[in-house]
Structure formats: structure tokens, C-alpha cells
């Protein structure tokens, strides 16, 4: 029995000592993703930090999301190294803590990124659908609280495998299905991801529905503007003024909401606050 185990381990070591063309391609793609994600998200954080006009409540979520994706870019370095069989054998298979860190951080940071996307969706929903509630309740303290909660959840999920990872057997294999318990890899993560996806779908569906209603309202107002030139008398001006007063506030809130959804804004925002 022990001889068979020794032979299996030696065969596995020989197989992992050769780098194939596919391994090299995967490693190259991993490093390219790491360079792109780290540089792009670092640029986003620096741009927001150095531009006071971008210090808005909505961009607080964007900045935190960029920090999360920056960490994801660093994880891509581990993914690139894992693609090389010799490095996988000498690093991930030899040190189980490195394997647990790799698996946990991939899941935790991906989940944290999804949480940020849900927070942004809820924020835009409140801004567009409940503008008065948004201006009255939402402030930098509320947003900071939710960002902190998101990071706590993400870090707990990321570092939990350090305590629950199953030890290596006679032949060490850094496989998440063998190293992590089912309640972590399937139940916890699946429930969280599915819940976040449902929240995103619902929020953006409502936002798109509101955008469609606003578009119909704008189109319905176009013929009135054309007739306004013919009704140059006092009665025609009064009708136009009434329509403007009724639809004016809704248009302002909607346009400003669309304006704030951009990551990089072109001008100062009247709702800008110092983070």
C-alpha cells in the first residue's frame, strides 16, 4: 500500500515538473489580467482622490469597488503562478496555508465585488425612485457604514479557509472541492451570490422601467413644444408654464441621477461632499 502511494506521488511530481504550452498561455493571461486590473483600478482611485469634483456619495462606492478590484488584480498573480506546474508543486502543494489563502481570497474578494455592485444598484434605485428620501437620509456616514459592513463580510469569507481547510493527504492537491467543506464552497457562497444577483436584477429592472416612463413623458412633451410656437398668446404660455412646473422636478432628478452614475464626471456636482 505504501509503495503504491510512493509511486503515485513520484509520478505526480514528474508530471508537475514540465511546463506545457497551455500552462505558459494561462500564466501569461493571468499576468496580463493582473496588470490591467491593478493599473485600471489604481488609476480610478487616484483620479477620484485628486479631483474634488468627484467626491460625491455615489463615487464613494465606486472608489471602494476599485480598491476591491485592485486586490482581485493582485490575486491574478497567484492564479498565474498556480498555472505553472513546478510552482504549483513547490508552493501551493507544499504549503497548505498558501493554498487556503489563494482559494479564500478568490472567493472573498469576488463576493465583496458583488456586494459593492448591489450597493451601487440600491443607491441608484433610491436616487432615481426615491429622490427626496435619498437627500434626507443618505449621507457619508450611512455610506461608510455599509462599505465597512461589506468589507467585514468579504474579509471573513476570504480568511475563513485558514481555519476550516482540510489537511493534505499522502498526495497533496490544492483542489477547492477537496480542501474546503461543502457548507463553505456551496451553501454559504451560493446563497450569498444568488441573493446579490436577485437584488441587482430587481433594482436595475426598476431603474430601466423608470427610465422608459421618463422617455415616454419626454416624447409626449415634444408635440406640445411644437404647438407652443403657434400658441404665442397668454393662454398658450400659461399651458406651457404649467407643464414645465409639473414635469420639471422629475426631469431634474432623473437627469442628475444619470449624470451621477458615470464613474468620471466632467464637471463639479452640487451634491459633492468631502469624503
* Residue 205, helix vs strand vs coil: helix
177 assigned to some structural domain = yes
H or E segment and range at residue 264 = none
1 assigned to some structural domain = no
pLDDT of 261 higher than 60: no
The domain of 105 spans 12-260
d(CA 127, CA 58): 10
What are the tens digits of pLDDT across the range 150-172? 999 999 999 999 999 888 888 88
| Residue 149 pLDDT grade (very low, low, confident, very high; cuts 50, 70, 90) | very high
86 assigned to some structural domain = yes
Block residue for cell numbers 469576488: 110
* Residue 233, helix vs strand vs coil: coil
Percent of the chain residues past pLDDT 70, beyond the cut: 74
| Residue 7 pLDDT grade (very low, low, confident, very high; cuts 50, 70, 90) | very low
Contacts of 146 (CB under 8 A, 6+ apart): 119
Cell numbers given for 214: 421618463
212 assigned to some structural domain = yes
What's the predicted TM-score (pTM) here?
A: 0.71
Tell me the mean pLDDT in the region 100-117: 92
pLDDT of 13 higher than 80: no
| Residue 267, number of CB atoms within 10 A of its CB | 7
What are the tens digits of pLDDT across the range 23-37? 899 999 999 999 999
| Residue 274 pLDDT grade (very low, low, confident, very high; cuts 50, 70, 90) | very low
CATH of the domain at 70: 1.20.1070.10
Q: Taking a C-beta distance cutoff of 8 angstroms, is the pair 94, 172 a contact? A: yes
Domain count, the chain: 1
274 assigned to some structural domain = no
Q: Taking a C-beta distance cutoff of 8 angstroms, is the pair 30, 80 a contact? A: yes
d(CA 216, CA 225): 15
41 assigned to some structural domain = yes
| Residue 118 pLDDT grade (very low, low, confident, very high; cuts 50, 70, 90) | very high
3-state SS, one letter per residue, for 123-171: HHHHHHHCHHHHHHHCCHHHHHHHHHHHHHHHHHHHHCHHHHCCCCCCC
Q: Taking a C-beta distance cutoff of 8 angstroms, is the pair 165, 99 a contact? A: yes
| Residue 45 pLDDT grade (very low, low, confident, very high; cuts 50, 70, 90) | very high
pLDDT of 49 higher than 70: yes
Tell me the mean pLDDT in the region 103-130: 91
Q: Taking a C-beta distance cutoff of 8 angstroms, is the pair 94, 87 a contact? A: no
pLDDT at 104: 92
Among candidates 157, 146, 149, 103, which has minimal Cα distance to 123? 146
269 assigned to some structural domain = no
Amino acid at each position: 500500500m505504501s509503495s503504491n502511494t510512493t509511486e503515485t506521488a513520484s509520478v505526480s511530481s514528474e508530471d508537475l515538473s514540465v511546463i506545457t504550452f497551455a500552462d505558459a498561455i494561462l500564466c501569461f493571461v493571468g499576468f496580463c489580467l493582473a496588470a490591467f486590473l491593478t493599473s485600471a483600478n489604481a488609476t480610478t482611485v487616484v483620479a477620484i482622490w485628486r479631483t474634488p469634483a468627484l467626491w460625491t456619495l455615489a463615487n464613494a462606492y465606486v472608489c471602494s469597488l476599485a480598491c476591491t478590484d485592485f486586490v482581485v488584480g493582485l490575486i491574478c498573480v497567484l492564479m498565474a503562478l498556480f498555472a505553472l506546474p513546478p510552482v504549483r508543486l513547490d508552493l501551493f502543494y507544499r504549503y497548505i496555508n498558501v493554498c487556503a489563502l489563494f482559494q479564500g481570497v478568490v472567493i472573498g474578494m469576488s463576493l465583496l465585488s458583488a456586494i459593492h455592485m448591489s450597493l451601487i444598484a440600491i443607491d441608484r434605485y433610491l436616487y432615481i425612485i426615491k429622490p427626496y428620501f435619498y437627500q434626507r437620509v443618505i449621507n457619508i456616514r450611512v455610506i461608510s457604514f455599509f462599505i465597512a459592513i461589506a468589507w467585514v463580510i468579504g474579509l471573513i469569507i476570504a480568511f475563513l479557509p485558514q481555519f476550516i481547510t482540510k489537511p493534505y493527504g499522502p498526495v497533496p492537491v490544492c483542489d477547492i472541492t477537496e480542501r474546503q467543506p461543502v457548507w463553505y464552497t456551496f451553501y454559504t457562497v451560493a446563497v450569498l451570490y444568488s441573493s446579490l444577483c436577485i437584488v441587482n436584477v430587481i433594482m436595475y429592472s426598476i431603474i430601466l422601467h423608470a427610465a422608459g416612463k421618463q422617455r415616454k413623458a419626454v416624447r409626449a412633451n415634444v408635440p406640445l413644444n411644437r404647438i407652443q410656437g403657434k400658441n404665442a398668446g397668454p393662454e398658450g404660455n400659461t399651458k406651457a408654464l404649467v407643464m414645465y412646473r409639473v414635469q420639471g422636478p422629475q426631469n431634474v432628478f432623473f437627469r442628475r441621477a444619470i449624470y451621477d452614475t458615470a464613474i468620471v464626471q466632467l464637471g463639479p456636482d452640487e451634491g459633492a461632499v468631502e469624503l
